Amino acid sequence: MFSVLLTALLSVVASEQAPNPDYATAYRSAQEAGKPLMVVVGADWCPACVNLKQNTIASLKQAGDLEGVEMAIVNRDAQPSLAGKLMRGPMMPQIIVFSKGDAGSWTRVQLTGFQSRDSLKSLIRKAVRNSGT
């Protein structure tokens, strides 16, 4: 019983300490595989951003709902140049999904502010469906 509890605790700690997905790596993977790219732009001081990352995204990841997309998290304070290129407006968090359409061109859909698990799941499903992956 103790070993099961210890294993569960260690897996939670390891997942919390896992680094955020790197934008450059996720971008390359999305390009190569033709998968949608979901980018979350936020900051550590933003309560909605922290909640989105720690609860909503973690829940989606655990349920396997992020398997059809490449994902990256961009910290606006740590990567201001990249965040500035991605963001439209100053509000955070921003969830941006790039997906390849029928004509092969990439489209952009953005949600701003905290989003529920269902709204993100719907956005991801639509992007995956449209990209044909």
List strands edge to edge, sheet with 106-112.
70-75, 37-42, 94-100, 106-112
Domains in the chain (CATH in brackets) are: 21-131 (3.40.30.10)
| Eight-class DSSP state of 19 | P
Distance of CA 3 to the CA centre of its chain: 32
Q: Residue 19: what pLDDT? A: 54
| Cα–Cα nearest to 30, from 82, 76, 81, 68 | 68
Q: Residue 17: what pLDDT? A: 42
And the tokens for 90? Answer: 């100053």
- Grouping H, G, I as helix, E, B as strand and the rest as coil, residue 128 is helix
Q: Write the single-letter amino acid at 12.
A: V
- The pLDDT profile of the chain, 133 residues, written as one tens digit per residue, is 433 333 333 344 334 444 557 899 999 999 898 899 999 999 999 999 999 999 999 999 999 999 899 999 999 999 999 999 999 999 999 999 999 877 778 899 999 999 999 999 999 999 998 877 5
